[in-house]
Amino acid sequence: FPEMSYLSFFCLGPGAGQDVGRSCILVSIAGKNVMLDCGMHMGYNDDRRFPDFSYITQNGRLTDFLDCVIISHFHLDHCGALPYFSEMVGYDGPIYMTHPTKAICPILLEDYRKITVDKKGETNFFTSQMIKDCMKKVVAVHLHQTVQVDEELEIKAYYAGHVLGAAMFQIKVGCESVVYTGDYNMTPDRHLGAAWIDKCRPDLLITESTYATTIRDSKRCRERDFLKKVHETVERGGKVLIPVFALGRAQELCILLETFWERMNLKAPIYFSTGLTEKANHYYKLFITWTNQKIRKTFVQRNMFEFKHIKAFDRAFADNPGPMVVFATPGMLHAGQSLQIFRKWAGNEKNMVIMPGYCVQGTVGHKILSGQRKLEMEGRQILEVKMQVEYMSFSAHADAKGIMQLIRQAEPRNVLLVHGEAKKMEFLKQKIEQEFHVSCYMPANGETTTIFTNPSIPVDISLGLLKRETAIGLLPDAKKPKLMHGTLMMKDNSFRLVSPEQALKELGLAEHQLRFTCRVHIQDPRKEHETVLRVYNHLKGVLKDYSVQHLPDGSITVESILIQATAHSEDQGTKVLLVSWTYQDEELGSYLTSLLKKGLPQGTA
Amino acid sequence: YQDLHTFELQAPTRLIEWGRGNRVCVAGYGQSGGNEILQLLPPPTLQVKETQGLCPERDFKVECGGFSDRPVYSLKYVPDTSLLVTSGPPDSSLQVWQVSAEDSDVIKSLSAIPTENGAGQPWAKMATISARAPWVLHGSRLASVQVTEVESRKKVYTAASGSSEELSGLAFLDCNTLLLCCAKGQLCLADVRQPQSPLEAASVPSALCGERWCMGVGRGPQGSDSSSQPVARLSSGGHLTLTDLRRTSESLASARCRVPSPASGAEFLCVSWAPALEGCLAVSGFDGTVHVYDTRSWDGSGGEAEPIFVHKGHAFGGWDSGGSPPLVTAHTWHPQKPRTLLSAASDGSLHVWDWVQSCGKF
């Protein structure tokens, strides 16, 4: 038996800065080491953007230490450091992710690499070839498919909602398991369903809790506001720039605008910047099974990813007069086409930029959302921002209600909350502990959490023993544990529970009988057989639930216990009762002895 | 609407209380325990007077929370302290809580303020003030009205009244004057420094005595004479009557609001004055709507009044577990933004809304 069983959890995420930036978690389960996500922090331009892998092992090779790496979804704060990790730090083991993630990751990584290296001239960054080499190590998995990483370690992906291809992973070694949620949401949206998991009862559920303290404004109101703002801008002849991550919210906003334009009969052009985004739509069509029911149904009637009012964008259109709406990448205005368009339109107060997602510190998006209106661009040029800056958050993360729902579905024994900010989560921790009677942990980055598990050890039981035990007592109650007696045989890595007799036989041992005899002296001058009768009547009266018998040879039996009476050798007035029992009847034997020692009541004839 | 935000709380609330820094407190009233008291940080849009173009967040954040076994029917912050008091069935005692947002986000249960013969009494109505010391005015019947010092639990004032009239609301008009509203509609005044029993200041027409009444007191700026603001009383039959406390012999004005029939009971009746819109008050509790009235156009006739705005958002909720349409359980005005209200309903919805100002009026 292992002396103790534990899981340990270690978060390699952001340093003391404590803002949401990247995810990277190390889990040790029954001797196996798994890395969950390998994210990049987009706000830093130096090595701080990568997790500190020296935490894992100082001199050993990562490939030897880690059994596998799992990536939950394609957002760069979950997979952005993967090529750096596998090719520059060095890891040759398997990397698991879902099929859509595998298809989309390299695109995003290449995009980011191009911007960082080509436009910014960075040198210590991974190359295109490294991305390709990294992806060669990826093993794509299907939802609900059990994948054997090795003889003992297996993983399974569950639908997480959030973005295309996002999954929650169950990691199992023997009967111990951990579920890592990555980012997920419990309410379906226009193009993705809600996360779902079965009652897998993991020892530990690791869940993101960044939005646990948020009570979200309803989607309808947010959409209403978004459309109102776009409409107002377009009506006054202004241009609307919506920076997007190519894959994710962009599709949802397109669907929203398309429907609105149709309903309101609007004429202003809507553009979607090409390249990356065309590929995105292409992938969405490929992975149509990953979207929700509604989209799938509509797709059959009318291709929801081919828009009537939305056309491909050309760089030159940015200079066209008149109103228009443009979706351009990247989403935080940190570089590329969206930044180019922003610089052209920023000086006109009739225009508007709508940031549809969280912007990491250091990006232009973050700066303008913080209220900065004078930005320093390359070559020390100052850009004055007169256009309206709006923020519409559509990101789908689980709130407190969603987290409770997931815990209710999975029924974990322990819960661990991952949070990017150094927040106090005591209330949520207590809420979870009170509602589900499980332990809840919330470690800070760099902290190790150890969770002790109670593994169940499966044991085979012999049919004979089972029959014997069920024959004895009450009917089995599915809700109550039943206490059984047997002998545990451990042989050749198997555990069996058998009856003692069978065990002895198999082991070639003879059974020994242990018998106790006790003498009780009773004052009784009468003849022996009269004493015996007195004892018999007394016991018969007291031990109504037991079988008390008076045998022809003058002895008394109480169940299997034997009582005989003889006269005392020296004193005729004293009788000696010999009480004899086997080890199995110890309890009854002791009881009888003490009962008889109390003496016989007078008058029992 | 100028603005509309709809939120869904995990459990419905029947109170919305404003705290320091425009924080909002809500609490569950479920009978089977596990109720949460939540102090919420409103989205930035609600934190400033003028809506700026920039609104990075639209969501409420749960700043801290506490757990209550009892249903929470009423909650009041104790000004100038980090305490709050709650009340609810099964008796008229109060619970005192500590909100310490510094080291922990848990609202801790501190102590209880028991009441004599409180068992089986209706839940206590409350009001708080921190003039001479942090006080809470509380009671469920006229006879049991008292003012207690929150921290020491010392009784500062007891109404020497033998009347078992049930109360529907109470308020501090200033640091010495108490205003009590009975469920049958009478308004009574009392002075904390005087030992006599509260004096009945105003009653309601006998025809309307059978209805249940509640009151709304104006919240004038700190230090101003609150008795200059009329007191509004609302009945379960939809009657509204305004009374000037300096001239209580006659009613200032009265009107009737349209009430659905059959009437849905008086459990959640609520009437309140707008802090920044003169003469405006809001009414809720009859159905899934909140009505806003301009009382300056009323006379004493008591005829039906036309609301200047009706918020119908909760009526479209449609997910009440009992199969009945949602009922607005509470509403409150934003302290600074003139036309912004918050309202909550029995289906757990929480709305923040602001209506478009029509020319010339409100």
Contacts of B54 in chain A (CB under 8 A): 369, 371, 389-391
Kindly state whether residues A493 and A544 are assigned to the same domain. Answer: no
Kindly state whether residues A497 and A521 are assigned to the same domain. Answer: no
Q: Is the pLDDT of residue B224 over 60?
A: no
Kindly state whether residues A492 and A525 are assigned to the same domain. Answer: no
Kindly state whether residues A400 and A384 are assigned to the same domain. Answer: no
B67 → closest Cβ in A401, A424, A434: A434
Cβ within 8 Å, pair A430-B67: yes
Please check whether residue A453 lies inside any domain of the structure: no
Identify the pLDDT of residue B349. 93
Candidates A215, A408, A437: best to mutate against B (most CBs of B within 10 A) is A215
Kindly state whether residues A384 and A277 are assigned to the same domain. Answer: yes
Kindly state whether residues A284 and A344 are assigned to the same domain. Answer: yes
Identify the pLDDT of residue A170. 97
HSE toward the beta carbon, residue A358, CA cutoff 13 A: 16
- At B134-159, the pLDDT tens digits run 999 999 998 889 999 999 999 999 88
- At B255-275, the pLDDT tens digits run 888 877 666 678 899 999 999
**If pLDDT is split at 50, 70 and 90, which confidence band does A14 have?**
very low
Cβ within 8 Å, pair A215-B67: no
Domain count, chain A: 4
- At B309-339, the pLDDT tens digits run 999 988 876 554 556 788 999 999 999 899 9
Contacts of A224 in chain B (CB under 8 A): 4
Please check whether residue A458 is in contact with residue A466, taking contact to mean a CB–CB distance below 8 angstroms. Answer: no
Kindly state whether residues A185 and A254 are assigned to the same domain. Answer: no
Kindly state whether residues A58 and A204 are assigned to the same domain. Answer: yes
Name the residue in chain B with its Cα closest to that of A392: B56
Contacts of A217 in chain B (CB under 8 A): 5-7, 43, 58-59
**If pLDDT is split at 50, 70 and 90, which confidence band does B359 have?**
low
Please check whether residue A325 lies inside any domain of the structure: yes
Q: Does residue B16 or residue B43 have the better pLDDT?
A: B16
Q: What are phi and psi of B4, to 5 degrees?
A: -150, 125
Burial class (CB in 10 A: 0-12, 13-18, 19+), A306: exposed
Please check whether residue A455 lies inside any domain of the structure: no
B59 → closest Cβ in A217, A426, A435: A217
Kindly state whether residues A242 and A312 are assigned to the same domain. Answer: yes
**If pLDDT is split at 50, 70 and 90, which confidence band does A433 have?**
very high
Cβ within 8 Å, pair A213-B4: no
- Residue A139 CB: number of other CB atoms within 10 A? 13
How many angstroms separate the CA atoms of B187 and B169, rounded?
A: 10
The answer to which of A42-56, A57-71, A531-545, B299-313 has the lowest mean pLDDT is A42-56
Please check whether residue A513 is in contact with residue A561, taking contact to mean a CB–CB distance below 8 angstroms. Answer: no
Cβ within 8 Å, pair A427-B65: yes
- CA angle A462/A467/A473 to nearest 5° reads 130
Instruction: Give the contacts of B82 (CB within 8 A, at least 6 positions apart).
Output: B98, B99, B100
Kindly state the tokens that stand for A480: 């109550």
Please check whether residue A534 lies inside any domain of the structure: yes
Cis amide bond preceding A2, omega within 30: no
- The domain that holds A245 is classified in CATH as 3.40.50.10890
Candidates A358, A417, A427: best to mutate against B (most CBs of B within 10 A) is A427
- At A271-319, the pLDDT tens digits run 887 655 566 666 666 676 666 655 555 544 444 456 788 888 888 888 9
A393 → closest Cβ in B5, B58, B60: B58
Average pLDDT over residues A233-252: 82
Per DSSP, which regions of A45-182 are E strands?
68-70, 95-98, 138-141, 146-148, 153-159, 167-173, 176-180
Please check whether residue A604 lies inside any domain of the structure: no
Please check whether residue A312 lies inside any domain of the structure: yes
- At A582-597, the pLDDT tens digits run 888 888 889 999 988 8
Average pLDDT over residues A170-186: 93
For residue B284, give the nearest of B274, B299, B272 by alpha carbon: B272
Count of pairs with CB atoms under 8 A, one residue in A, one in B: 80
Please check whether residue A567 lies inside any domain of the structure: yes
Look at residues A367, A391, A415 and tell me which one is the last residue of a structural domain: A391
Cβ within 8 Å, pair B57-A393: yes
Q: Is the pLDDT of residue A522 over 90?
A: no
User: Mean pLDDT highest for which of A305-314, A327-336, A387-396, A569-578?
Assistant: A569-578
The answer to which of A322-326, A331-335, B279-283 has the lowest mean pLDDT is A331-335
Cβ within 8 Å, pair B4-A224: yes
CA A82 from chain centre, in angstroms, equals 21
Calculate the average pLDDT of chain B. Answer: 86
- The domain that holds A556 is classified in CATH as 3.30.310
Candidates A209, A221, A358, A395: best to mutate against B (most CBs of B within 10 A) is A221
pTM: 0.78
Per DSSP, which regions of A248-355 are E strands?
270-273, 310-313, 324-328, 352-355
Kindly state the tokens that stand for A312: 């491909």
Q: What are phi and psi of A63, to 5 degrees?
A: -60, -35
Closest Cα in chain B, distance from residue A427 (Å) = 5
Cβ within 8 Å, pair A430-B64: no
Identify the pLDDT of residue B259. 78
Written as one letter, the residue type at A355 is M
Kindly state whether residues A243 and A145 are assigned to the same domain. Answer: no
For residue B338, give the nearest of B289, B270, B292 by alpha carbon: B292
Q: Is the pLDDT of residue B132 over 70?
A: yes
Name the residue in chain A with its Cα closest to that of B351: A217
Closest Cα in chain A, distance from residue B5 (Å) = 6
Give the domain range for residue A564: 515-598
- At B62-71, the pLDDT tens digits run 999 999 999 9
Please check whether residue A409 lies inside any domain of the structure: yes
Kindly state whether residues A143 and A237 are assigned to the same domain. Answer: no
- At A396-407, the pLDDT tens digits run 788 888 999 999
Could you tell me if A216 lies within 8 Å of chain B, comparing CB atoms?
yes
Could you tell me if B69 lies within 8 Å of chain A, comparing CB atoms?
no
A215 → closest Cβ in B34, B53, B59: B59
For residue B91, give the nearest of B151, B154, B140, B27 by alpha carbon: B140
Instruction: Give the contacts of A309 (CB within 8 A, at least 6 positions apart).
Output: A257, A258, A261, A262, A266, A269, A270
Please check whether residue B34 is in contact with residue A435, taking contact to mean a CB–CB distance below 8 angstroms. Answer: yes
Kindly state whether residues A19 and A163 are assigned to the same domain. Answer: yes
Identify the pLDDT of residue A494. 84
Among B residues 47-66, those touching chain A with beta carbons less than 8 Å apart: 53-66
Burial class (CB in 10 A: 0-12, 13-18, 19+), B293: buried
Active-site residue A223, yes or no?
no
Contacts of A220 in chain B (CB under 8 A): 6
